[in-house]
Amino acid sequence: AQTVTQSQPEMSVQEAETVTLSCTYDTSESNYYLFWYKQPPSRQMILVIRQEAYKQQNATENRFSVNFQKAAKSFSLKISDSQLGDTAMYFCAFMSRETSGSRLTFGEGTQLTVNP
């Protein structure tokens, strides 16, 4: 079974600065997806970024980018030029492409606060 670990329960950053959220995972599979989801106080689950394991290039979406280290099973999220609207709970998630069920396995979450 896969596990996802986010070792930082809470983080804070000043507006306009850069912050990196950590995520590690454990799997014996080689073909999978990794995701970062954002959950603002409205509690919606919003997909921030997706990485396919077979792609060596790190995914980027505007101010959001990842550092995907497959051998180390590490998948960190970097937020550049942080904005007040980035304040949210962030979840790292794993999805196998090799097994059925399309189960997303989530980490415990990191609460990010952006301070003015």
The residue assigned the tokens 């396995």 is 105
Q: 87-106: which residues touch another protein (CB under 8 A)? A: 91, 93, 95-97, 100-104, 106
- Residues 3/103, Cβ–Cβ less than 8 Å: no
Tell me the per-residue interface mask from 43 to 82 with another protein, x by CB under 8 A, - otherwise.
Answer: xxx-x--x--------------------------------
CA 63 distance to own-chain centroid:
14
Among 19, 25, 34, 35, binds another protein (CB under 8 A): 35
Q: What is the 3-state secondary structure (H, E, C) of the chain?
A: CCEEECCCCEEEEECCCCEEECCEEECCCCCEEEEEEEECCCCCCEEEEEEECCCCCCCEECCEEEEEECCCCEEEEEECCCCHHHCEEEEEEEEECCCCCCCEEECCCEEEEEEC
Minimum distance from residue 116 beta carbon to another protein (Å): 27
Using the minimum distance from each CB to another protein, give the nearer residue, 38 or 82.
38
42 binds another protein (CB under 8 A): yes
Minimum distance from residue 73 beta carbon to another protein (Å): 17
Residues that bind another protein (CB under 8 A): 4, 9, 33, 35, 42-45, 47, 50, 91, 93, 95-97, 100-104, 106-109
